[in-house]
Amino acid sequence: MTIEHKIRFIAGTFILVSLALALYVNRNFLWFTAFVGANLLQSSITKWCLMEDILKKFAKKDGESCCCGGGGETKKS
């Protein structure tokens, strides 16, 4: 899974969870939905995404290649 796919997955999950929380817990969770949307808009304009930096940092800690999503596995010849 590429970084772009991970970012889309995380953003979609955050939006759906915050909508469910707004429906069942408190309407103020809609602010979190707006925050995620604003970050998506900002990243499309500036070409910089904080979530991408965070995922790359964790990928380096785990030894995972950030663009291939290999989980640190290497091919044996």
Domain ranges of the chain: 3-62
Q: Is 52 exposed, middle or buried (0-12, 13-18, 19+ CB in 10 A)?
A: middle
Task: Read off φ and ψ for residue 9, nearest 5 degrees.
Answer: -65, -45
What is the distance between the alpha carbons of residues 23 and 21, in angstroms, rounded to a whole number? 5
What is the distance between the alpha carbons of residues 34 and 19, in angstroms, rounded to a whole number? 10
Question: What pLDDT, on the 0 to 100 scale, is given for residue 30?
Answer: 96
The pTM score is 0.70
Per residue in 4-59, pLDDT (tens digit) is 899 999 999 999 999 999 999 999 999 999 999 999 999 999 999 888 999 899 88
Q: Residue 3 — very low, low, confident or very high, per pLDDT cuts 50/70/90?
A: confident
Q: Is the pLDDT of residue 73 over 50?
A: no
